[in-house]
Structure 1
Amino acid sequence: MIEAWIAAQRIPNGKQFQFGLAKLVEPDGQAALSISGQLVGTLGYMAPEQARSGKNVDERADVYSLGAVLYQMLTGHRHFPSGDNLLEDIQRLQEWTPAQLRDLNKQIDPDLEIIALKALRAEPAERYRSVAALREDLLRYQRGEIISAKPVTPREVITKWLKRNRAIATVGAIALLLLFASGAVFTWFNYIQRVRAQTARRQAEELVGFMVTDLRGKLDAIGRLSLLRDVNTQVDQYFRAVHPAESGFNGKRLRAIALQNEGDLLGSQGNLPDSIARYRETLRLIRELKQERPKETAVQHDEWAVIGKLSSTEQTAGNLESALDSAQAALNVSRELASRTSQPEYHRDYAISYNKVGLLEDRRGNRIAAQEAYRSGLDEITKLLEQNPADRKLNRDAMIAHLRLGELALGGGELDVAREELEIATGQARQLAALDATDAVTQRDLSVAIIKLADVAVQEQRFDDARPLYVEALRIREKLVAQDPENTDALRDLSVPYEKIGLLEAAREDMPAALPPFERSAEIAERLAAKDPANAEWQRDLTVTLEQIAQVTEAVGDFRGAIANFEKSMAIGTKLAAGDPENASAQQDLSLTYKELGECLGNAGDRDRAIEFLTKAETRHGELARRDPTNQTLQVELAQIRESLAAFRN
């Protein structure tokens, strides 16, 4: 077994494993050798006894091969350097001791080094007795427990307990190796009687369960969801190899979770259509399971969770109507769950569903419906907090509800209500952030609440009160980026306070002071857009910052610079709209860019081109308004476009 065969999994019809010497374990415990007396395999991944072509080769040879793969995954080097003389290499291999892994990579955990070196012992008796034993030790390491490969001291027990779940650096390599190791076990057991095959399948599904739940949660927590790509491939191939009738209820549920993880990964990469497709496939599987066990609350909760993710992705893709339909479906599922049980988590889900519906109603311009949904969600959370006032999740939910109500009031010009709600939200956010200064989620929440409170101050023209708040939020987000420089979400968040400071200075009509923060925001947007040109959200961010710079330069009389930036934004927006014709938000953004460019051209004296682009905006916005006649935001924007067009025509 070599790394090339593992990598071949990226080929649609590739095999997961090849075995130089395959053995069939008979019911009497004897081993039948497929090929004897010949050297079959790749020396760098072959156990010494296998290289001798002897008959005493058993499962411990696979342990050695897996150890070789783990060694190379962790160090980037093969454990055994082959030469030009095969016979000499075979002889050297018999007593070969690999270099210490930590000599090649100081970041490797000592326990992981011990596991790899135990698997690579020259004498079979000194290795793990089986692939399953190796797998168990890797799982112990993954869980932060004491491994079997070395003596245990009381001090070590305490240290391990304190460090549990903190060793994340090599989690992707371990996860993949565990799956490969389990694959070897399944290959062996498939040759024996059906009872043993069923046992192997249970072991496989236990491991798959770890892959799609525990591992996924740990990777998501550190912003490394991309490591799931290979794991998802392996899990998908496992389920494709298992007959649906044999996988059972739990196996089908694990496959649904794996598909949902794939949807999460695709969404994080900006591939929204495929992400939506995976979520819909997941939903189909879950509803099949729901028919099998209609009273199974766990399956109903799975249904709620995936509908929620589908709604969020549809929203990001600009399909607000579909997103709202999905959010209301999730609300119905959570309402049924809450009515059947008194468990607080299901009532919390019910409140979260209300907040999601409120957010989408707000985006569609339906402020009254949004306010009703937010209030209903807050009422549910308040009831739960009466039972458990110290619960951090519930306190965060309450903070978010007040934040949403404040945003809604701000958008409707109800500044007194907005200030009251946002002061409550900011106070709650400060309390939560003070509990753990290293918690990125609560720190980010605090920065969001502070920014919204500053937005109210700007609307009230209290600029001197607003600026320190924006700067405070900026400092929080700078720290978050410094803590995790590779986290693109944190970097994207950093652009927001820069943008807000620019808008504040523009509101003060200090355009020279507005330009630098807008340019800093644009630098971040350009970095992200260049990092992943296929990510539509990041490309849209860039169009927004370009238009802000254009508006400032237009305000100081630099029409040439303003037109150039509007045209850059239009070029990106045109690609986004053409790439996803059904994305109403992308079409709306492009239409508004036409409007801004048209007005700029008109102010610069180019009346004909102004009318040309304003006419394009009217046509596109008119079509959007006809498709979604209840969207009040579209109706207001269309009226503004027509007003500008009439002004330049006259």
Structure 2
Amino acid sequence: MNKGKNTPNAVPARQYRAFLSYSHTDERAANKLHHWLETYRMPRRLVGTAGRQAGVPPRLTPIFRDRAELPAASSLNEQVHLALSQSEALLVLCSPAARASRWVNAEIALFRKLHPRRPIIAALIEGEPAESFPEALMARDAKGVEHEPIAADFRTDSDGPKLARLKIVAGLTGVPLDQIIQRDAQRQLRRVISVTFVALLLVLLMSAMLVFVARARSEAENQRQQAEGLIEFMLTDLREKLEGVGRLDVLQTVNKRALAYYADQPDLQTLPSDSLERRARILQAMGEDDFKRGDTPEALAQFREAYRVTETLLAASPNEPQRLFAHAQSEFWLGYVDFLRDRNDAALTHFQSYQTLAEKLVRLRPTNRIYWRELGYAQGNICTIALDQERRNDLLQSCKGALDTMLRVQRLEPNDPAIAADLANRHAWMADALRIQGLDRNALMQREKQTAILQALLQRDPKNAGYLQDWMLARYSMSNLLYDLNEIDHARALRAEARADVAQLVARDPANKDWRVWQSKLAKPLAKGVH
């Protein structure tokens, strides 16, 4: 650790952004964090804004880290003392080893003595706080006041490395954490979009190259795989990232280009199986994007073509889980379009086929949580049909089956936020089923369970558009239920909150048809008997 002797009397001017204090048992973690801090660039829009001392700097350098190991020393050396006196903040890596280190405790005590008002940031990298925070970190000052340090928890079940590092940046600069998170996310999004357009240019370039190398079979095959890989990346992985911020318009041009690419290959027999699988996934992704924009005819064309592909693949390998899974998605999307077009009989046929495929997946792979989750989705679709038609005989059974299956999935993966969101939806469906049965108080209990899950998700990721949409819909339904229970003021307050949220969502992405539909519904006054 940071050891030595001699203590100068004067306190020189500030020279270091921070002093990194750690046990040498944690040297690997210290090296990694030190490197990240010294290479991190502040978001451009924050540079020069008001911080703790002056304008926010573009870089967080220099960070002092003592590399000396002097176990025989009896006190902190002069270099360490000088560095502590010249540091704007103290960053302590907390672990059981750090708590046991007399040098870490000595550095904390000296820094607090030299700079009682400068920030001390505790970075928890291992263990619980009680067993990892050095005693000096929690000690009271000369006036008997206990100063709680700024805490950044690197453990995966808490903040995690990414958020913990941004908390440290906030502590060092004095910029509010939410501003840093927002600006950092905007910077990442700009990078992703830039990469997308560069990738699109590459796709166009490779498509042109295919014309010139058509006679070279091996080269043409290589180019085809690269082009398809880029298209799939843009329509699947990238699309998932953009969905989290509620944007549907960015990929519209890419969708059209991908469709043109595959329009030249209508004969399924000419494509290898891996290309067929990729083509089906891309068609489903394109159909989903078109559907969310309100282009139902175009979406239906994509879903039908995907169905043709996945049906062909499944016929060739009827017991292959990957083929079963892919065709299950095709059954779902065609059923979902029929359901939203009020063609419930046609939708039910697709949803029952979807459930049959999911049940077969579970039988083939009984420990696979993804396949159990598909079964929960399939049962939920049957539940939605029953809810829409108010089929009292099998309503509670189908909705309870969907809820029980998703509870089982959560037990298999308790920390997955996507599964938690699915579980919240199942509680909502169960609430609607109970309302149809006239059990409004029981329905309220299910809505409260849904609300608790969504609040936890929003605390974890407050900018997630999907969570915000679910929260808005939950308050819409809760307001209707409370109104029927004659809790009028509470119902009106929830309805007003839901209207404000959907307005923000529509402003974020005006192309999202679903949000505009819900905005119209929320504009209507509360009425008795609305589910």
TM range (shorter): 0.5 to 0.7
Higher relative contact order (CA 8 A, sep 6+): 2
Q: After superposition, what is the alpha-carbon deviation per residue over 1:240-271, rounded to whole angstroms, capped at 9, x for unaligned?
A: 44564442111122222333234334433444
The alpha-carbon distance between structure 1 residues 344 and 481, as it changes in their structure 2 partners (threshold 3 A), is: same
Q: In structure 2, how many angstroms separate the alpha carbons of the residues matched to 1:428 and 1:268?
A: 25
8 Å contact kept, 2:247–2:509: no
| Matching residue of 2:107 | none
Q: After superposition, what is the alpha-carbon deviation per residue over 1:145-192, rounded to whole angstroms, capped at 9, x for unaligned?
A: xxxxxxxxxxxxxx999965653445664353222111122223224x
Q: In structure 1, how many angstroms separate the alpha carbons of the residues matched to 2:230 and 2:400?
A: 43
Q: In structure 1, how many angstroms separate the alpha carbons of the residues matched to 2:476 and 2:233?
A: 39
Higher helix share: 1
Q: In structure 2, how many angstroms separate the alpha carbons of the residues matched to 1:271 and 1:482?
A: 20
Q: In structure 2, how many angstroms separate the alpha carbons of the residues matched to 1:162 and 1:475?
A: 23
User: Percent identity, aligned pairs only?
Assistant: 23
| Matching residue of 1:183 | 207
8 Å contact kept, 1:290–1:296: yes
| Matching residue of 1:641 | none
Kindly state the Cα deviation for residue 356 of structure 1 after the two structures are TM-superposed.
0.9
Kindly state the Cα deviation for residue 229 of structure 1 after the two structures are TM-superposed.
4.5
Q: After superposition, what is the alpha-carbon deviation per residue over 1:338-380, rounded to whole angstroms, capped at 9, x for unaligned?
A: 1111111110111111111100111122133222111111111
TM-score scaled to structure 2, two decimals?
A: 0.59
| Matching residue of 1:36 | none
8 Å contact kept, 1:478–1:494: yes
Q: After superposition, what is the alpha-carbon deviation per residue over 1:448-481, rounded to whole angstroms, capped at 9, x for unaligned?
A: 2222222122112221232222223233334434
Q: After superposition, what is the alpha-carbon deviation per residue over 1:46-101, rounded to whole angstroms, capped at 9, x for unaligned?
A: xxxxxxxxxxxxxxxxxxxxxxxxxxxxxxxxxxxxxxxxxxxxxxxxxxxxxxxx
The alpha-carbon distance between structure 1 residues 389 and 235, as it changes in their structure 2 partners (threshold 3 A), is: closer
| Matching residue of 2:29 | none
Indicate yes or no: 2:310 matched with 1:305. no
| Matching residue of 1:503 | 526
**Unpaired runs of at least 5, structure 1:** 1-105, 108-158, 508-547, 549-650
| Matching residue of 1:296 | 320
Kindly state the Cα deviation for residue 328 of structure 1 after the two structures are TM-superposed.
1.0
User: 1:235 aligned to 231, 235, 258, which one?
Assistant: 258
**Unpaired runs of at least 5, structure 2:** 1-43, 46-182
| Matching residue of 2:474 | 449
Q: Secondary structure at the match of 1:180?
A: helix
Q: In structure 1, how many angstroms separate the alpha carbons of the residues matched to 2:426 and 2:257?
A: 40
| Matching residue of 1:386 | 411
Q: Which moved more, 1:326-335 or 1:438-447?
A: 438-447
The alpha-carbon distance between structure 1 residues 238 and 484, as it changes in their structure 2 partners (threshold 3 A), is: closer
Q: After superposition, what is the alpha-carbon deviation per residue over 1:10-48, rounded to whole angstroms, capped at 9, x for unaligned?
A: xxxxxxxxxxxxxxxxxxxxxxxxxxxxxxxxxxxxxxx
Q: After superposition, what is the alpha-carbon deviation per residue over 1:576-611, rounded to whole angstroms, capped at 9, x for unaligned?
A: xxxxxxxxxxxxxxxxxxxxxxxxxxxxxxxxxxxx
| Matching residue of 1:490 | 515
5 Å-filtered alignment, 1:602-641, equals none
8 Å contact kept, 2:210–2:223: yes
5 Å-filtered alignment, 1:334-349, equals 334-341=358-365, 342-349=367-374
Kindly state the Cα deviation for residue 427 of structure 1 after the two structures are TM-superposed.
2.0
Aligned residue type for 2:218: V
Aligned residue type for 2:318: P
| Matching residue of 1:210 | 233
User: 1:463 aligned to 482, 488, 491, which one?
Assistant: 488
The alpha-carbon distance between structure 1 residues 194 and 281, as it changes in their structure 2 partners (threshold 3 A), is: closer
Q: In structure 2, how many angstroms separate the alpha carbons of the residues matched to 1:205 and 1:338?
A: 31
Kindly state the Cα deviation for residue 444 of structure 1 after the two structures are TM-superposed.
2.1
Q: In structure 2, how many angstroms separate the alpha carbons of the residues matched to 1:240 and 1:387?
A: 42
8 Å contact kept, 2:390–2:436: no
| Matching residue of 1:320 | 344
Q: In structure 2, how many angstroms separate the alpha carbons of the residues matched to 1:224 and 1:446?
A: 18
| Matching residue of 1:75 | none
| Matching residue of 2:436 | 411
Q: In structure 1, how many angstroms separate the alpha carbons of the residues matched to 2:353 and 2:371?
A: 15
Extract structure 1 runs of 4+ deviating beyond 6 A. Answer: 159-162
| Matching residue of 1:374 | 399
Q: In structure 1, how many angstroms separate the alpha carbons of the residues matched to 2:509 and 2:248?
A: 14
Q: After superposition, what is the alpha-carbon deviation per residue over 1:545-591, rounded to whole angstroms, capped at 9, x for unaligned?
A: xxx9xxxxxxxxxxxxxxxxxxxxxxxxxxxxxxxxxxxxxxxxxxx
Kindly state the Cα deviation for residue 223 of structure 1 after the two structures are TM-superposed.
4.6
The alpha-carbon distance between structure 1 residues 468 and 333, as it changes in their structure 2 partners (threshold 3 A), is: same
The alpha-carbon distance between structure 1 residues 313 and 175, as it changes in their structure 2 partners (threshold 3 A), is: farther
Q: In structure 1, how many angstroms separate the alpha carbons of the residues matched to 2:294 and 2:512?
A: 15
Aligned residue type for 1:399: A
Aligned residue type for 1:213: T
The alpha-carbon distance between structure 1 residues 483 and 420, as it changes in their structure 2 partners (threshold 3 A), is: same
